Amino acid sequence: MTSEDKKQDTKRRDAMRRHWLSTARTLQEALPFILNYDKRNVVIKFGGNAMVDDDLATSFAHDIVLLKQVGVNPIVVHGGGPQIGKMLERLNIETEFVDGLRVTDKATVDIVEMILSGSINKSIVTAINRAGGKAIGLSGKDGNLLTAEKTKSRSGADIGYVGEPKAVNPAVLDTLTGSDIIPVIAPVGIGEDGATYNINADTAAGAIAAAVGAKRLLMLTDIAGVLNSDGQLITNVSAAEAEALIDNGTIAGGMIPKIQTCLNAVAKGVEAAVIMDGRIPHTVILELFTEHGTGTLIAEQGAAITREHG
């Protein structure tokens, strides 16, 4: 080996040693957070750009598998509005919206169930399994997981087979989370009359998080989180502060129902909910296992609940 070869070999060894040390420090810093979530349920609402971007979807799948491998119980609830819209267009079925809600007749709800419980659900299951996990796809109809009741628009209009959770039966999830299986849930519920109802994925995730006593509800979105009047990320708010931000208009539009879902969840026992950016690779791991997280954390006690060791 020439002197130049020896120099290059030494450089490679030094670079590798620095990489190992960096990895060791990262694991050391993450360990207290990992222990804090040991055997605890974390419900993750998967939606937005992360669902349709292949790289982000793969990153998400690896995050979910890692959570399970370190002792956390991830429960995934997914949406699918854009995919449903595209399928309705392909089938030349006109879509009508009332107060932001899709009017869902019998033909439409059959397509909604086909897309949510079929292609979308199974693509997420496949991604997690390819990443080394053991995922099983469910809908809210399986095991009577989600009993739904018909809902109406804010104006009182009948919008068809659109529902909201009336009851959650966590028995099937308790069985799965007690094993090495990762549940992936499509937000389709069953009515007491046997009818199928399309449930908003955010709402379904919040109801499930409350029912399983989740430590965290993570809501993946296409924005950084809740922003203040200067456009800066608000990292931590109490339930009362979140209500005030809605009242003064800082939280507006489509963010309001997401925040209300979080508030309902924490009011029913979820320790904290987080509105977070699903466009960031490995955002779930960064939120749970680092001190500063990636989104806006909402809890009853606000500043008393921080990301430091959970």
- Segment among 25-29, 49-53, 106-110 with least mean pLDDT: 25-29
- Both 193 and 46 in a single domain? yes
- Both 25 and 127 in a single domain? no
Inter-CA distances, 245 with 78, 229, 240, 250, Å: 27, 10, 9, 5
pLDDT confidence bin for 49, thresholds 50/70/90? confident
Residue 89 covered by a domain: yes
Residue 309 covered by a domain: no
Q: What is the pLDDT of residues 90-128, one digit of tens each?
A: 888 877 887 777 788 888 889 889 999 998 999 999 999
Task: Quote the CA–CA distance of 55 and 78 in Å, as a whole number.
Answer: 17
pLDDT confidence bin for 9, thresholds 50/70/90? low
Tell me what pLDDT residue 216 has.
96
- DSSP assignment of 189-227 equals EEETTS-EEEE-HHHHHHHHHHHTT-SEEEEEESSSS-B
- Both 211 and 87 in a single domain? yes
Residue 310 covered by a domain: no
Tell me what pLDDT residue 5 has.
60
Q: What is the pLDDT of residues 235-265, one digit of tens each?
A: 999 999 999 999 998 888 888 889 999 999 9
- At position 116, the amino acid (one-letter code) is L
Question: With 70 as the cut, is the pLDDT of residue 306 above it?
Answer: no
Inter-CA distances, 43 with 106, 184, 218, 219, 220, Å: 30, 10, 6, 9, 11
Q: What is the pLDDT of residues 119-165, one digit of tens each?
A: 899 999 999 999 999 999 999 999 999 999 998 877 788 888 999 99
Domain count, the chain: 2
- Both 123 and 266 in a single domain? yes
Residue 11 covered by a domain: yes
Residue 118 covered by a domain: yes
- Both 10 and 131 in a single domain? no
Residue 90 covered by a domain: yes
- Both 148 and 170 in a single domain? yes
Q: How many CB atoms lie within 10 A of CB 233?
A: 15
- Both 197 and 98 in a single domain? yes
- Both 21 and 62 in a single domain? no
Look up the CATH number of the domain holding residue 193: 3.40.1160.10
Residue 243 covered by a domain: yes
- Both 7 and 79 in a single domain? no
Enclosing domain of residue 176: 34-304
- Both 86 and 139 in a single domain? yes
Evaluate whether 99 touches 155 at the Cβ level (below 8 Å). yes
Question: With 70 as the cut, is the pLDDT of residue 202 above it?
Answer: yes
- Both 153 and 20 in a single domain? no
- Both 125 and 6 in a single domain? no
For residue 289, report the phi and psi dihedrals to the nearest 5 degrees: -115, 15
